[in-house]
Amino acid sequence: RGAEGGSADLAGRHVVVSAGGTREPLDPVRFLGNRSSGKQGYALARTAVARGARVTLVAANTDLADPAGADVVRVGTAVQLREAVLKAASDADAVVMAAAVADFRPATYAAGKIKKREGQEPAPVELVRNPDVLAELAADRPHAGQVVVGFAAETDDVLANGRAKLARKGCDLLVVNEVGERRTFGSEENEAVVLAADGTETPVPYGPKEALADVVWDLVARRW
């Protein structure tokens, strides 16, 4: 493998990775966002480059150094992320959705800054659904050989929730993290189980995000 052995087992392949977290603007100075750092997505991009792939990284609001050798497309909102990912996916052999995509966005965008008024309660923020990029990718593949991978952070019944989500999304692989104490956003490490549509489960022990990324690429390569 590229990471260890220096072999380029992903050579000739184009892979698309989304990373970071979308921000959904309320007005010119405010947004609804999430705490995704983008580190897992960047690790996926770096390891894919190291293994010889052509890599498009769609980065949503990240503050990390561009991975050398990857084409980086910067986006802000879920709608922008959808457009960039679908465009890059048209000739891709795999798409990995590591980004935290906001499920909802404010129904309206105020062109001017929202002001408070003396003696007035704030107006409630009305939200609307964002498109589900992963489900759309899995449903409309440009070619049958394209492998589609999702990520999910779950609590409680982690594996059962993961299985149900994998089926609902229609993707080939779902990387499931348990959200808990030491598994904080922004950390350098991760622990996960990779669930596959064929029923297999691959546990990945707590360790660097690169190690999880290499397992994901191994499982993707096996499906090509």
By the criterion CB under 6 A, which residues form the site for ligand CTP? 78, 97, 99, 101, 103, 130, 132-134, 150-152, 165
Residue 87 assigned ligand-binding role? no
The catalytic residue among 34, 61, 161, 190 is 34
Looking at beta carbons only, is 50 or 78 nearer to ligand CTP? 78
Is 179 among the residues that bind Ca ion (CB under 5 A)? no
Q: How far is the CB of 192 from ligand CTP (least distance, A)?
A: 12
209 is in an annotated binding site: no
177 in catalytic set = no
For ligand CTP, the closer CB: 25 or 69: 25
Residues 64-103: x/- map of binding to Ca ion (CB under 5 A)?
---------------------------------------x
3-state secondary structure the chain: CCCCCCCCCCCCCEEEEEEEECCEEEECCEEECCCCCCHHHHHHHHHHHHCCCEEEEEEECCCCCCCCCCEEEEECCHHHHHHHHHHHHCCCCEEEECCECCCEEECCCCCCCCCCCCCCCCCCCCEEECCCHHHHHHHCCCCCCCEEEEEEEECCCHHHHHHHHHHHHCCCEEEEEECCCCCCCCCCEEEEEEEECCCCEEEEEEEEHHHHHHHHHHHHHHHC
115 in a labelled binding site: no
Rounded to a whole number of angstroms, the minimum distance from the CB of residue 81 to Ca ion is: 13
Question: Is residue 133 marked as binding?
Answer: yes
Q: Is 151 annotated as a binding residue?
A: yes
CA 138 – CA 169 distance, rounded (Å):
7
Smallest separation (angstroms) from ligand CTP to the CB of 34: 9
Measured in residues, the chain has a length of 224
Active site residues: 34
Q: Which residues are annotated as a binding site for CTP?
A: 103, 113, 131-134, 151, 165, 169
Give the residues lining the site for Ca ion (CB under 5 A): 103
